[in-house]
Amino acid sequence: MQIFKFGGASVKDAKGVKNLATVLKTVGFKNTLVVVSAMGKVTNALEVVVSNYFEKKGELQSSIQDVIKFHNDILFDLFENESHPIFKKVKLLFDELNSFLKSSKSPNYSFVYDQVVGYGELVSTTIISDYLNTIGIKNNWLDARDVIKTDDYYRRANVNWEITQNAISKKVDTSVLNITQGFLGSDANNFSTTLGREGSDYTAAIFAYCLNAQSVTIWKDVPGVLNADPRHFENAQLLHNISYREAIELAFYGASVIHPKTLQPLQQKEIPLLVKSFLNPENSGTTVGKGVTLNPKIPCFIVKKEQVLISLSSLDFSYIVEENISEIFSLLHQHKMKVDVIQNSAISFSVCVDNIYNNLEKLLQQLKAKFSVTCHNNVSLYTIRHYNQSSIKELEQDKTVLLKQLTQETVQIVTK
């Protein structure tokens, strides 16, 4: 059994869907399960729908129509016959979405988010499954929510591995090609949940773990795992082989090619992870596996934009000790802040966070009750694995450094 994952960039239009089919024909799809994300930037568009639902009711239907038109344009490019059943299937999915938005009274943003945003994956996989069947690549469409069971931590749900293992073992027919959604699960009440932004890689790893797959391949618009994101850094180099440990480190610090949670289940069963180009499917790409080392250890650059740097100091110049730090982390957890860097001295404590849930103002209000607080918004966090002095100097050029932290293998720098 092999698991393939195609992200939104690979199926952003009809040409991308046709290329997915070409990849399957080129590399083979026997005993394969394919995980697919929402098409293009549809997740972003559905986030606008959620925002309008809560804040701009007058623009809600317009934002939904934008999503419907985007998919209809792809449908018309893929299917010549407008009476093809796919048109009705897609319409029914959007009718479901509209029905939920009309009937829901929930004030819980994260709950509504998960019920709405998942339609991106449901529609994309429905279209792709029907297209593949139409051109002779027979497949089974699988609703990931039927088999990936989670808690109700909406927008970043935790997998119930025992129930999920049993469901996948019973419901996945490994003798046929399966098409399913990334990013999605469901809770004990069968409400939709999501596994965190960019969680489709994680979905592939969940299926791989439960099916004892021989490999997972993530198909990207880059040749493999690079030592830097070419959108932000020049002269990026391909890393042909990486150990699980190194890949986990890179993912933890924010490397966008691999989702942070993806590697843990794969490592447990020593399932190789391949990162390959959907534009050149026969190229070798990058292999992540056991006992593989990054050689030579060239510097690897990672950047996370739009972060928040919060610096705290005691109001009476007393030491910031374990009790204070425990309280700070309790508040960070309470307000769902993702912590990327911490640094402390005798009377100060700094933390760089990702304000995913837009709870920053509430957090600052509580912190200001006990600490002197300085907050820098829209900072950039740079991480260099296997740094050298020239790489640090190059990165810091023409930037204002707000925080810098070095360990033996890694340097992290927060800049404005």
Task: Return d(Cα 90, Cα 413) in angstroms, integer.
Answer: 46
Q: Give the C-alpha separation, 354 to 357, whole Å.
A: 9
- Cβ atoms of 226 and 237 within 8 Å: the answer is yes
Quote the pLDDT of residue 139.
Answer: 98
288 token code pair: 């992540």
User: Considering only 230-244, 273-287, 381-395, which range has the smallest mean pLDDT?
Assistant: 230-244
The DSSP secondary-structure symbol of 139 reads E
In a domain, 355, yes or no: yes
Mean pLDDT of the chain: 95
Whether 170 and 26 map to the same domain: the answer is yes
Query: Per the domain annotation, does 58 fall within a domain?
Result: yes
Q: What is the pLDDT of residue 290?
A: 87
In this structure, are 187 and 311 located in the same domain? Answer: no
pLDDT band with cut points at 50, 70 and 90 for residue 296: low
Closest CA to 204 of 17, 4, 381, 48: 4
- The pLDDT of 53-82, averaged and rounded, is 97
pLDDT value at residue 295: 54
Residue with tokens 């090609």: 177
Residue 221, domain member (yes or no):
no
Whether residue 343 is contained in a domain is answered as yes
Whether 192 and 334 share a structural domain? no
- The total of structural domains in the chain comes to 2
Structure tokens at 271: 């399932």
For the sheet with 286-289, list strands across it: 139-142, 177-181, 32-36, 2-6, 215-220, 273-277, 286-289, 241-243
Tell me the chain's radius of gyration from C-alpha atoms: 23
End position of a domain, from candidates 213, 240, 259:
213
Regarding whether 209 and 308 lie in a shared domain, the answer is no
> Which ranges of 310-351 does DSSP label H, i.e. alpha helix?
322-334
Phi, psi (degrees; rounded to nearest 5) at 284: -75, -30
Question: What pLDDT shows up at residue 78?
Answer: 98
What pLDDT shows up at residue 297? 80
Residues 43, 154 within the same domain: yes
For residue 178, report the phi and psi dihedrals to the nearest 5 degrees: -110, 140
Are 177 and 64 in the same domain?
yes
Domain boundary among 213, 235, 259: 213
92 lies in some domain: yes
Residues 252, 257, 258, 259, CA torsion sign: positive
Phi and psi (nearest 5°) for 300? Answer: -115, 125
**167 touches 186 (CB < 8 A):** no
Of the pLDDT bands very low, low, confident and very high (cuts 50, 70, 90), residue 390 is very high
Is residue 361 in a domain?
yes
Determine the Cα angle at 214 with ends 203 and 166, to 5°.
Answer: 50
Q: Is residue 279 part of a domain?
A: no
Mean pLDDT lowest for which of 211-225, 289-303, 343-357, 401-415?
289-303
Q: Among 191-195, 202-206, 252-256, 381-385, where is mean pLDDT lowest?
A: 252-256
Range of the domain at 161: 2-213
197 is in an annotated binding site: no
Q: Which of 187, 213, 239 is where one domain is finished?
A: 213
Give the alpha-carbon dihedral of 233, 235, 241, 244, to 10 degrees. -10
What number is the average pLDDT over the span 273-285? 96
Q: Using the predicted structure, report yes or no on whether residue 269 has a pLDDT greater than 80.
A: yes
Rounded Cα–Cα distance for residues 339 and 251 (Å): 14
Q: Which residue did the predictor score with more confidence, 225 or 376?
A: 376
Query: Same structural domain for residues 307 and 208?
Result: no
Q: Give the model's pLDDT for residue 293.
A: 64
At residue 231 the predicted structure's pLDDT band, cuts being 50, 70 and 90, is confident
pLDDT at 211 over 90: yes
- Name which of 209, 271, 281 is nearest 27 in CA terms: 281
In a domain, 99, yes or no: yes
